[in-house]
Amino acid sequence: MADIHVDQLTTQNFYQIPQIFFTRVEKTYDKKGGLRFKTKHTSSYARMSNDAKIAYGALYNRCMLSIRSYQEGKIDYVDENGSVFLVYTVEDLMDLLDKSKATVQKIKKELAENGLLREVKQGSNKPNRIYLQNVEASREVHEKYEALRKKRERKVKDKVKIVYEFDFRHIMTSDHLGNVIFKAETSLQNDDMNGQLKIDRPNLESGRIGSDRPDGQNLNRINIEKSKIDNLYDTNRYEGESSLSDLSIAEAFKMGQHGFLSPQLVQKLSLFGKDAKILENKIYQAKRQVEKNYNNLLADQEIYGEVWLQDLERELDKLIFKIKTGEAEGKSIQNVPAYFYKMMIRFWKMALLIEKEQGFMELSGQSEHARKFPDDCPSLIAYYYPDKLSETKLNSYLSELSKGVETC
């Protein structure tokens, strides 16, 4: 072994793999060095197998060689439109990538499904032309997470140890141009370290950043915000109000933090009273279980929960309908949380199947359309699968997708 020295890079040759193929994480800290936010820069390409990513880099290198040859007057691998192509048999690709025939075929299929490769048949027993495609910057999204410091107890041998860990709450997703795709409701951050409510006071003395005096519109907004915050710090504001003991379980539940769940979902969950939190946990537990079971498809990524909010509301409506009709018919559900968990397992499997088949950008676009025009598209699942899939077919489709992914 030998360390990499500062002059060594000039003596090495490397395949180029697009940065967008990987998830990059940036962290933001406050003035005291405390973690405030984590931003994940990712894309649907990040879910590809490592074999497909490496193969793209190797084929891209061959494209660059063809371009250099073209600049030297050789036009063997450039078509009439000026597009560069490669001519490789499956056997050639097996040698180039050092992979089996089955794996090479899976790699080609995966690249094609992600819009990174197309083939043109030549006929007369000639190998196909392979056209490598440029990556699309528009597929990149930026997911922002708020860091919430939590105090937890950990049992170490016979002693209980207090540790401080971070939970991350997804607060916003934006596209490559900065347009907001998803934004959670803002909430106050609870720092369990001292049990006090931490509130960042905005600068109310200026209407906008960099201005010395607020304009009329900003001044009005500032006065409203200032009134809200003054009221928040006013300890006399509780006089004449009901005590904490009068607060219902449903109202208390709505005051909590609920990840990517929408306010409409939280409202419907609150109808279950003391079981609301249990059912909420079933949503996340089922999602994590499906992600674990099909990790080879996800490549350590997550199912995009915020895309499926409208469908989640429909699932909760189904549960409520089933409970009420069951009670009316004398066929009550004996264990509602267990019943709902099974519903959620199937739901997240359908979500995963559609995400893999359609791709994130197509799906997020359709999700946005569904939010704006719910009458046209009340459900993404029903839109892509108008006829309900049987459990057998659903498992079969996911199994076929899994076979197309090379596990490391």
Would you list the DSSP string of 19-42? GGGS-EEEEEE-TTS-EEEEEEEE
Residue 9 lies in a domain: no
pLDDT attached to residue 165: 80
pLDDT (mean) for 105-120:
91
Instruction: Please give the tally of structural domains in the chain.
Output: 2
The rounded distance, in Å, linking the Cα atoms of 140 and 190 is: 31
Do 401 and 268 share a structural domain?
yes
**Domain enclosing residue 70, as ranges:** 47-137
Residue 305 lies in a domain: yes
pLDDT band at 244 (very low <50, low <70, confident <90, very high): low
94-108 tens-digit pLDDT: 998 898 998 999 999
Q: Report the 10 Å Cβ neighbour count for 365.
A: 13
Amino acid at 180: V
pLDDT band at 246 (very low <50, low <70, confident <90, very high): low
Do 266 and 127 share a structural domain?
no
Distinct helix (H) and strand (E) counts, the chain: 13, 10
Residue 157 reports pLDDT greater than 50: yes
pLDDT attached to residue 89: 86
Which of 200-214, 354-368, 382-396 shows the highest mean pLDDT?
A: 382-396
Residue 219 reports pLDDT greater than 80: no
pLDDT band at 352 (very low <50, low <70, confident <90, very high): very high
Domain endpoint, select from 89, 113, 137: 137
Q: Tell me which of 163-167, 176-180, 184-188, 281-285 is least confident.
A: 184-188
Residue 149, CA distances (Å) to 184, 187, 189, 227 in order? 19, 14, 9, 29
Residue 151 lies in a domain: no
Residue 244 lies in a domain: no
Residue 132 reports pLDDT greater than 90: yes
Residue 130 lies in a domain: yes
Domain endpoint, select from 115, 137, 159: 137
Domain endpoint, select from 95, 121, 137: 137
Pairing of β 35-42 and β 24-29: antiparallel
Residue 164 lies in a domain: no
Phi, psi of 331 (to 5 degrees): -125, 60
Residue 359 reports pLDDT greater than 90: no
191-214 tens-digit pLDDT: 433 333 333 333 334 333 334 444
The rounded distance, in Å, linking the Cα atoms of 17 and 238 is: 59
Residue 175 lies in a domain: no
Q: What share of the chain in percent tops pLDDT 90?
A: 29
Residue 239 lies in a domain: no
Query: pTM for the whole thing?
Result: 0.47
CATH number of the domain enclosing 79: 1.10.10.10
Residue 341 reports pLDDT greater than 60: yes
